[in-house]
Chains A and B, each alone.
Chain A
């Protein structure tokens, strides 16, 4: 019997020594009586340092101590799974997890005499599980994100769809191969068939895309081609013929679609401006006719005025001649007003053409001064400076500008007696300045003075006649000469209007 027991004791020892399970035997006051090597190793202490020591002095843990006491009190085994624990003496281990049991050992009197404390380290399993859970959560999160994105995308797509549908301008979306991948009802209506899947060349053929000169556009110049090359087009005026045979003037705008700065397609949209164009044409034609028709009676009136003037001249009736001169001046004003109306129309429609030639600007200034001097009795016009160079300019138009500035100078300086015209060269420009000593221009008005229909009121509220077109036309003429126009002025001191012209031929003019 004793042999058997001894043998079992030996086997137990071997198992205890070699198991990975942590085993400790504690006395009833939780002092270590025996620990196996797994326990000692895990606790970070040597076996001899554990034996005889109190468990909770070495590893204080309020909760565990409470549980241990409970086991002692009730005599019932405590069992835990994956219970976290941190070694106070091995903080580097972090949180460890344990499956452990505390079995009370009772004496013959059924009193708790000690405990078998066995633990299995499940830290690895727990951590693996935690990692798995974390990954799962992340996957869920990503899934949710993707779902939100999809919803967002769908929303955007349906918004875009609504925009496309609501758009009355036809719209074509092309992929990089130039195949139409998206469109709207307006495009469908204009084209007659669905453009989806058609190449841009095919669509262009359906439309007969022509430039304003009536030439068919080659592939390179199709608006879609610009977008696929990464270029943006704004308001490119073209003529197209719809499938119904309706000729239209359209303004085409187009832009590339880029992802990460790479062109992946293009959008082309067009606006039918045929009606507006037609109206513009009618307006132009009307103003041309109106101006022509208005000039006809003025011609007759002017001729009779001059006939009468000659008659009174022969009769030496100076008084009547004086009146007739006044009439003639008013007729000239009327002619100017009519011409201004026509000029503005031309400027607006981009039809103000210049006929530039090399001209003696100095001589031109002299001539204009002489002309204006003849019709003013109130002001003396003084020319200062000289320009030697011949300048490339439209003689009639520059004459018009100088005339306008001189007449303005006289008109807005009713109390002054002179106007100074100062001309000079500086760097690559010639300057023509017209200085008056009149009412001047307030700061507020300085910027607006070259605007269309802008009219100056006197500083004391007085009105000056005119359509407010003169300076607008002047500035447009100077712009087209690649010059600048401006004004320096002080209220009640006078104004100096100036314009410049380049002395070197502008590239466009060569």
Chain B
């Protein structure tokens, strides 16, 4: 079962290239397929191309706010069931994430073990 889930892609959305890169390294190291995206406004199109198994998305980005993206995905029939983990360095990030409809929240900076734990939980 586990291997099968690992075949699914994780879409990581963050406007900071440094964070995109390190998350990609961490997750690929564990055998996940990772797609990255630096702008929130492109998420819908990207998701339509191929449904990811999980979305990791930053809440506060220059190119389209994460919480708005989450709300949009939650409204669409095709995307509303995709598990979403919100990431944020905002102190009240968890609250915003819950309101927007994210399944889980991971505060920045994070421990990579916590990241694995949440990814495993949803994939």
Which residues of A line the B interface, CB within 8 A?
288, 291-292, 295-304, 306-307, 310, 331, 335, 339, 342-343, 346
Contact = CB atoms under 8 A, between A and B. Distances in A.
A297 B18 CA distance: 8
A303 B112 CA distance: 6
A296 B59 CA distance: 12
Contacts of B60: 292
B22 A304 contact: yes
Contacts of A301: 109
Interface string B67-101: 00000000000000000000001110000000000
Nearest to A332: B109
A298 B108 CA distance: 8
B90 A331 contact: no
A394 to B, nearest CB: 12
Given A296-B89, A296-B108, 16 more contacts: A288-B90, A292-B90, A295-B109, A299-B19, A299-B108, A300-B16, A300-B18, A300-B21, A303-B109, A303-B110, A303-B112, A307-B25, A307-B29, A307-B112, A335-B109, A346-B91
A342 B91 contact: yes
A357 to B, nearest CB: 14
A291 B91 CA distance: 9
B111 interface: yes
B23 interface: yes
B18 A295 contact: no
Judged by DSSP, the binding face of A is: helix
B24 to A, nearest CB: 11
B115 to A, nearest CB: 8
A232 to B, nearest CB: 36
Interface string B21-41: 111011001000000000000
A299 B90 contact: no
Interface residues of B, number: 19
B109 A299 contact: yes
Contacts of B90: 288, 292
B91 A300 contact: no
A399 to B, nearest CB: 13
A310 B25 CA distance: 13
B67 to A, nearest CB: 14
Contacts of B108: 295-296, 298-299
Nearest to A292: B89
Nearest to A301: B109
B66 to A, nearest CB: 13
Given A307-B112, A331-B109, A296 B23 contact: no
11 contacts: A299-B19, A299-B89, A299-B108, A300-B22, A303-B109, A306-B112, A307-B25, A307-B26, A307-B29, A335-B109, A343-B91
B16 A296 contact: yes
Contacts of A303: 19, 22-23, 26, 109-110, 112
Contacts of A339: 91
Nearest to B108: A299
Contact of A306 (B18, B91, B111): B111
B91 A307 contact: no
